[in-house]
Structure 1
Amino acid sequence: MTESNTNRVNTKVLADFKVGVDNVIFSVDTKQNRLLVLLSKRKEEPFQGYWGLPGTLVRQGESLEQAAYRILAEKIRVKNLYLEQLYTFAGPNRDPRESPHSFGVRYLSVSYFALVRFEEAELIPEPSNNITWYMIEKVPQLAFDHHQILQYGYQRLRNKLEYSPIAFEVLPELFTLSDLYQFYETILGNNFSDYSNFRNRLLKLGFLLDMGIKVTRGAGRPASLYRFDPVAFAPLKDKPMVFI
């Protein structure tokens, strides 16, 4: 059989996939103005000793979302978090265990991104969990295509903050506008918006309720506590809008 005939036959062979889930877990440290990502050091080949995103192969009878939550529960304890499916990375030869000259197992990754607050996310101290937080600007070389997955997740996070209320799923139920501004600033950078414009825009949208409670922090003036009102936000949910 000629090479051209071989290629023609090979294109009809169905791929045999193993499905993995990789989590891009971001934490927001507003006290030190740091955006962090959780990395796990691999204990086996391929890429033994490299840092990578916490991941797993999907188990029998387990949904993708269940696998994503399982990884979260094995790595951190946290009360408030946001989790969303990110993208499927399935290019051929993305995993060294695949052979370009055979028709063995292909490995695809369905990625998720999660958002938590650093101060309430507790790493689970188990010997098998070699995990740590890395500042987003200081991430080392990662295993597989995890750097690409991380960058995709980082861009999705920044975009979501601009048009959706994901911050309120991570913040405490009651917060000041300064707390909210610092949360956005940590992720988007110091020059993302003037505080006065940020404050006025969000209050005009009408889904932040002033609870009539004042708190004093440091030497500044007392600040009002607010709560996100999902009922007031519901009519705006499907409308094009920009938070900031």
Structure 2
Amino acid sequence: MENYKLASVKPSVAEFKVGVDNVIFSVDTQHNRLLILLVKRYKEPYANYFSLPGTLVRVGESLEAAADRTLSEKIEVENLYLEQLYTFGEPGRDPRDQKNNQDQRYLSVSYFALVRYEDTNLITTGNRKAVWHLLKETPQLAFDHNRILDYGYQRLRNKLEYSPIAFKVLPEAFTLNDLYQFYTTVLGEHFSDYSNFRARLLKLGFLTDTGLKVSRGAGRPATLYRFDEDAFALLKDKPLVFI
């Protein structure tokens, strides 16, 4: 009896196209609104859907450069800090996976940022105009961008617990109520009682009294504080600093 060996079939290796998608949050402190930057697509797939600002990475271009490039076409803001969020690459996340070639996949390397609403200008030229959209009223987005957005929002909430990210978007001098309103805008009105929030922050010792006060309507003038980065450095590795 002859022996036959079954030839092993090697699975084909997927070819990837890499894109970047940016989750850019802004807190409108004057109206206590949490906003997300979106663009409307003008071609397929998902024509006329909103999406996160994104682009495919060009030859010889770094991921960070691609993220900066697509944002520079949508928004003007000083000192924008982008932090890499996560890589999304499940098969079928992009309809072009199946349309072009089953061995070709589209990856999304997402980035995250929080900017001051008052310091940004949206660029109105071009086909893909950017808009600020209320986070709580986000529509169904293109691709898996709702999932990316949810992931980014969770990162924002987590960073508020242990990092000084809030002070990057608040004015240099602020009241404790300004800071509390910022937190309630992002985390919801029931995240903490104001009295407990105030007492905890003052006890931590990284807020400096400027000696100045501001009057806003009825009631006693409120003290203006500044963030002391050196004092905070002693606490930066401790979780749940603010909450």
TM-score w.r.t. length of structure 2: 0.89
For the Cα contact (< 8 Å) 1:23–1:112, is it kept in 2?
A: yes
Matched, 1:216 2:212: no
Aligned to 1:39: 38
Indicate the larger mover: 76-85 or 119-128: 76-85
For the Cα contact (< 8 Å) 2:208–2:227, is it kept in 1?
A: yes
Aligned to 1:189: 188
Q: Is the alpha carbon distance of 1:195 and 1:79 closer, same or farther for their aligned partners in structure 2, counting shifts above 3 Å? A: farther
Q: Residue 70 of structure 2 aligns to which amino acid in structure 1?
A: I
Indicate the larger mover: 103-112 or 84-93: 103-112
Q: Among the aligned pairs, what percent are the same residue? A: 68
- Superposition map of 1:16-95 within 5 A: 16-79=15-78, 81-95=80-94
TM-score w.r.t. length of structure 1: 0.89
Q: Residue 64 of structure 2 aligns to which amino acid in structure 1?
A: E
Secondary structure in structure 2 of the residue aligned to 1:18? strand
* Cα distance in 2, alignment partners of residues 213 and 71 from structure 1: 41
Shift, 1:164, TM fit: 1.5
Aligned pairs, how many? 238
Q: CA RMSD in A?
A: 2.1
Aligned to 1:229: 228
Shift, 1:80, TM fit: 5.5
For the Cα contact (< 8 Å) 1:93–1:100, is it kept in 2?
A: no
Shift, 1:135, TM fit: 1.2
- Superposition map of 1:112-191 within 5 A: 112-191=111-190
For the Cα contact (< 8 Å) 1:56–1:71, is it kept in 2?
A: yes
For the Cα contact (< 8 Å) 2:41–2:128, is it kept in 1?
A: no
Deviations 1:104-141 (A, max 9, x none): 43110011111123233221121323222221121111
Secondary structure in structure 1 of the residue aligned to 2:73? helix
Q: Residue 137 of structure 2 aligns to which amino acid in structure 1?
A: K
Q: Which stretches of structure 1, 4 residues or more, deviate above 6 A after TM superposition?
A: none
* Cα distance in 2, alignment partners of residues 61 and 238 from structure 1: 37
Shift, 1:220, TM fit: 3.0
* Cα distance in 1, alignment partners of residues 79 and 220 from structure 2: 28
Q: Residue 34 of structure 1 aligns to which amino acid in structure 2?
A: R
* Cα distance in 2, alignment partners of residues 79 and 55 from structure 1: 19
Shift, 1:81, TM fit: 4.7
For the Cα contact (< 8 Å) 1:82–1:166, is it kept in 2?
A: no
Indicate the larger mover: 135-144 or 112-121: 112-121
* Cα distance in 1, alignment partners of residues 145 and 195 from structure 2: 38
* Cα distance in 2, alignment partners of residues 123 and 60 from structure 1: 27
Bigger-Rg structure (1/2): 2
Structure 2 gaps, min length 5: 1-5
Deviations 1:57-111 (A, max 9, x none): 1223322222222222221122365532111001111111112894543110011
